């Protein structure tokens, strides 16, 4: 039977580390077991699995595990599953699961993202690095100019914000400083951030691609993150406080990192508010994709928390986005502080905060509405999450 | 940059772009029906879906839309720093090329600097790089 609503009912996460030796399938199962226990569900009650971007055999560090493998490994009797990269950013896998439960195709869907980039890099014999004689697809338009990391692509949009809108490095730094402050009290971030970050340390750090320095780029991490999406008519089967997926939006304009004038965060942000009665002013916490430090600024503008070209003023000084500020951001440390969980960490943390389970990093005031986003550049996905 | 540039795999859509430099041409796909440009190149126009498209030599001049000074050696032997830029091509509305600005120091580049294409050949691929130039100045070099 179709359900009108979809909820996040279970959260799980494996150990988070750098160069872990535990196999990626086992990390995935660790996270799934934790999410099942959290929700009070058993494997027999799971009937769907979704992941992004699906197993990538030629690039196993980036995505070592597919949904079919999880179905087989855990004996899941699946009625619907999905795994693929041709969707607008990581959280689209969760949005797809929400559509599946609303359509009645499944009742409880495991959504996971497993990353193994640090471990794979350290064990090249087991995880051969991606080596190709030639480049094709979209990378042929950037790699020949040694514009290889997405950091060099995003950097040019950050440079434009500096030139046209007056963003300073000190303002940009607030994303990383906030991330490190929050990661410092997140037990799951111990392997990623070991020392506090100061403005002096930030300003003297090694440059990667201007304006980005080392602290503006997320770090390869090994972990698996899981959320369970359940149908609204199956909530009597779970024991947690359900968090409703109140609105979803995803968009791609040009599937091209250098042809877009404005990143997809802007259109995706506008779309999100068209699909809900909530307004930006109702949001209690924002969990914004920060693979590179400029990206949250595009989300702050795209979702209307600041006007276009003014996002850096919103974070100036860092007080507004701090845990005790008016709009706490990336309270777990984001990817800059808590590791490159590749999108799913933001949904996990948004639900953690709405449930009031953030421990030392829990924000005050009984938060009821959160936004989690993923993606960057020409692709974006956003979830509005509500405890209502 | 002493290491070889990553080499595009030539196909029916992109060969005119990556080899046009042999004849000094910067080729961008243009529609014979609506006149709009399509980049990355495809066998149809992304504006009107006409298949009446062909690579056309464009002026090869443009302006720096944005840039970054890359300091990270992404592969062994890559000399840094160097300039990665997005160049807006004159007369080719809506098309941006990611490229390198060469022939000037990394501290000599700015937004809206006028640039023109210079090709760097490597094993049959002609990479369109750009150098600064003052419009009206005597033409020199490639």
Report how far residue A319's alpha carbon sits from residue A174's, in angstroms, rounded to the nearest whole number.
9
A255, pLDDT greater than 90: no
Q: How far apart are CA A28 and CA A336, in angstroms?
A: 22
Distance of CA A121 to the CA centre of its chain: 22
Contact residues, A window 47-86, toward B, CB-based 8 Å cutoff: none
Question: Which residue of chain A is at minimal alpha-carbon distance from B79?
Answer: A146
| Cα–Cα distance, A18 to A206 (Å, whole number) | 21
- Distance between CA atoms of residues A151 and A174, nearest Å: 18
Examine the pLDDT at A197 and tell me if it is beyond 90.
yes
How distant is the Cα of A128 from the closest Cα of chain B, in angstroms? Answer: 16
Measured between beta carbons, the chain A residues lying within 8 angstroms of B95 are 259
Position A349 in a domain: no
CB contact under 8 Å between B127 and A256, yes or no, is: no
- pLDDT range class, residue A34, cuts 50, 70, 90: very high
Distance, CA of A235 to CA of A25 (rounded, Å): 28
CA distance A192 to A16: 8
With cut-offs at 50, 70 and 90, classify the pLDDT of residue A2.
Answer: confident
Query: For chain B, which residues make up each domain, given as ranges?
Result: 15-132
A259 touching B, CB under 8 A?
A: yes
Q: Under 8 Å CB-to-CB from A195, ≥6 apart: which residues?
A: none
CA angle, corner A38, sides to A83 and A289, nearest 5?
A: 50
- Sign of the CA dihedral running B110, B112, B115, B120: positive
Does the beta carbon of A152 lie under 8 angstroms from any beta carbon of chain B?
yes
Kindly indicate the confidence band of residue B136, based on its pLDDT and cuts at 50, 70 and 90.
low
Strand partners, A285: A370
**Quick check: B69 and A210 CB within 8 A?**
yes
Q: To probe the interface with A, which of B84, B97, B105, B115 has the most A CB atoms within 10 Å?
A: B84
Q: What CA–CA distance (Å, rounded) separates B56 from A111? A: 47
Nearest to A235 by CA among A4, A2, A7, A58: A7
How many independent structural domains does chain A possess?
1
Contact of B52 with B33, CB cutoff 8 Å: yes
Q: Is residue A150 part of a domain?
A: no
CB contact under 8 A, B14 and A140: yes
Mode of pairing for the β-strands spanning B37-38 and B26-31: antiparallel
B30, B82, B85, B106, B135 from B62: Cα distances, Å: 17, 19, 12, 18, 10
CA B133 – CA B140 distance, rounded (Å): 10
Per-residue pLDDT band at B140 (split at 50, 70, 90): very low
* Beta carbons of A287 and A301 less than 8 angstroms apart: no
Q: What percent of chain A has pLDDT above 70?
A: 100
Q: Which of A139, A144, A156 sits opposite B68 (nearest CB)?
A: A156
Q: What CA–CA distance (Å, rounded) separates A343 from A351?
A: 14
d(CA A113, CA A56): 12
pLDDT at B142 over 50: no
- Check CB contact under 8 Å for A156 and B66: yes
Whether A95 is covered by a domain: the verdict is yes
Q: Is residue A186 part of a domain?
A: no
Average pLDDT, chain B: 94
Distance separating alpha carbons of residues A355 and A358, to the nearest angstrom? 8
Residue B68 has pLDDT above 50, yes or no: yes
Chain B residue numbers with beta carbons less than 8 Å from the beta carbon of A145 are: 5, 84, 98-100, 127, 129
**Separation of alpha carbons A256 and A263, rounded Å:** 10
Please state the pTM of the whole predicted model.
0.96
Alpha-carbon gap, residue A235 to A258, rounded angstroms = 44
Q: Indicate whether A1 pLDDT > 80.
A: no
Q: What is the mean pLDDT of chain A?
A: 97
Residue A177 burial (CB < 10 Å; 0-12/13-18/19+)?
buried
Name the nearest CA neighbour of A223 among A12, A67, A58: A12
How close A287 comes to chain B (CA, Å)? 27
pLDDT digit string, tens, across residues B38-66: 999 999 999 999 999 999 999 999 999 99
Contacts A147 to B, Cβ<8 Å: 70, 84, 98
Residue B48 to residue A233: CA distance in whole angstroms = 46
pLDDT band for position A383 (cuts 50, 70, 90): very high
Task: Kindly indicate the confidence band of residue A384, based on its pLDDT and cuts at 50, 70 and 90.
Answer: very high
**Mean pLDDT, residues A334-357 taken together:** 98
The residues with which A109 forms a beta bridge, in sequence order, are A48, A229
Write out the two tokens for B137: 């100045």
Per the structure, the complete domain to which residue A81 belongs is given by 6-126+220-237
Establish if A376 belongs to a structural domain: no
In CATH, what number is assigned to the domain containing residue A68? 3.40.47.10
Tokens of A220: 């390869």
> Under the phi-then-psi rule, with left for phi > 0, alpha for psi from -120 to 50, and beta for the rest, what region is A231?
beta
Sign of CA dihedral A14, A213, B5, B96: positive
Omega before B40 cis (within 30°)? Answer: yes
Contact call for residues A99 and A3 (beta carbons, < 8 A): no
Rounded CA-CA distance A366/A218 in Å is: 30
C-beta separation of A341 from A6 below 8 A:
no
Euclidean distance between CA atoms B120 and B137, whole angstroms = 22
Sign of the alpha-carbon torsion through A203, A209, A210, A216: negative
| Nearest Cα to Cα of residue A256 among B11, B85, B96 | B96
| A207-209 vs A212-213, strand pairing mode | antiparallel
Partner B contacted by A160 (CB < 8 A): yes
In a domain, residue A98? The reply is yes
**pLDDT at position B137:** 55
Contact, A251 vs A275, CB < 8 A?
no
> Is residue A324 situated within a structural domain?
no
Q: Predicted confidence band at A132 (pLDDT cuts at 50, 70, 90)?
A: confident
Q: Which tens digits make up the pLDDT trace of A15-25?
A: 999 999 999 99
Q: What is the pLDDT of residues A55-86, one digit of tens each?
A: 999 899 999 999 999 999 999 999 999 999 99
Cα(B20)–Cα(B60) distance, integer angstroms? 11
Identify whether the C-beta of residue A370 lies closer than 8 Å to the C-beta of residue A283. Answer: yes
């Amino acid at each position: 039977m179709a359900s009108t609503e979809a909820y996040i009912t279970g959260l799980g996460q494996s150990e988070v580390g750098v160069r872990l030796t535990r196999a990626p399938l086992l990390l995935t199962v660790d996270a799934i077991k934790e999410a099942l226990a959290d929700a009070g569900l058993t494997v027999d009650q799971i009937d769907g699995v979704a992941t992004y971007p699906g197993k990538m055999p030629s690039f196993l560090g980036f995505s070592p595990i597919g949904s079919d493998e999880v179905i087989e490994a855990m004996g899941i009797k699946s009625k619907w599953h999905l795994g693929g990269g041709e969707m607008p950013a990581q959280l689209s896998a969760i949005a797809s699961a929400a559509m599946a439960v609303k359509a009645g195709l499944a009742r409880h869907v495991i959504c996971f993202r497993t990353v193994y980039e640090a471990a794979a890099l350290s064990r090249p014999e087991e995880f051969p690095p991606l080596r190709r004689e030639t480049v094709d697809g979209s990378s042929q338009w950037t790699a020949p100019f040694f514009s290889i990391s997405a950091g060099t692509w995003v950097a040019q949009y950050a440079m434009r914000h500096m030139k046209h809108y007056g963003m300073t490095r000190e303002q940009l730094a607030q994303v990383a400083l906030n991330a490190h402050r929050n990661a410092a009290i997140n037990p799951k971030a111990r392997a990623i951030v070991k020392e506090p970050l100061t403005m002096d340390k930030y300003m003297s750090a090694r440059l990667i691609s201007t304006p980005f320095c080392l602290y503006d780029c997320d770090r390869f991490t090994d972990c698996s993150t899981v959320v369970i999406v359940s149908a609204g008519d199956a909530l009597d089967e779970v024991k947690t406080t359900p968090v409703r997926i109140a609105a979803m939006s995803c968009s791609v304009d040009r599937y091209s990192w250098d042809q877009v004038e404005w990143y997809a965060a802007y259109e995706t942000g506008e779309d999100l508010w068209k699909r809900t009665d909530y307004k930006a002013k109702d949001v209690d916490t924002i969990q914004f994709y920060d693979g590179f430090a400029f990206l949250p600024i595009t989300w702050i503008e795209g979702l209307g928390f600041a006007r276009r070209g003014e996002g850096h003023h919103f974070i100036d000084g860092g007080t507004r986005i701090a845990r005790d500020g008016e709009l706490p951001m990336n309270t777990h440390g984001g990817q800059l502080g808590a590791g490159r969980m590749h999108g799913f960490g933001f949904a996990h943390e948004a639900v953690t905060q709405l449930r009031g389970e953030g421990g030392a990093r829990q924000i005050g005031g009984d938060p009821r509405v959160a936004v989690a986003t993923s993606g960057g550049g020409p692709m974006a996905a956003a979830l509005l999450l509500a405890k209502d | 940059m002493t290491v070889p540039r990553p080499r595009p795999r030539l196909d029916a859509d992109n060969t005119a772009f990556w080899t046009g430099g042999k004849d000094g041409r910067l080729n961008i796909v243009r529609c014979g029906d609506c006149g709009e440009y399509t980049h990355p190149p495809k066998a149809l126009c992304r504006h009107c879906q006409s298949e009446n498209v062909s690579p056309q030599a464009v002026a090869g001049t443009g302006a720096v839309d944005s840039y970054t000074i890359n300091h990270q050696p992404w592969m062994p032997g890559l000399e840094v720093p160097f300039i990665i830029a997005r160049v807006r091509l004159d007369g080719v509305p809506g098309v941006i090329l990611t490229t390198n600005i060469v022939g000037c120091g990394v501290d000599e580049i700015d937004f809206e600097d006028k640039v023109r294409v210079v090709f760097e050949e490597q094993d049959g691929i002609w990479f369109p790089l750009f150098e600064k130039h003052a419009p009206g100045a005597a033409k020199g070099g490639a």
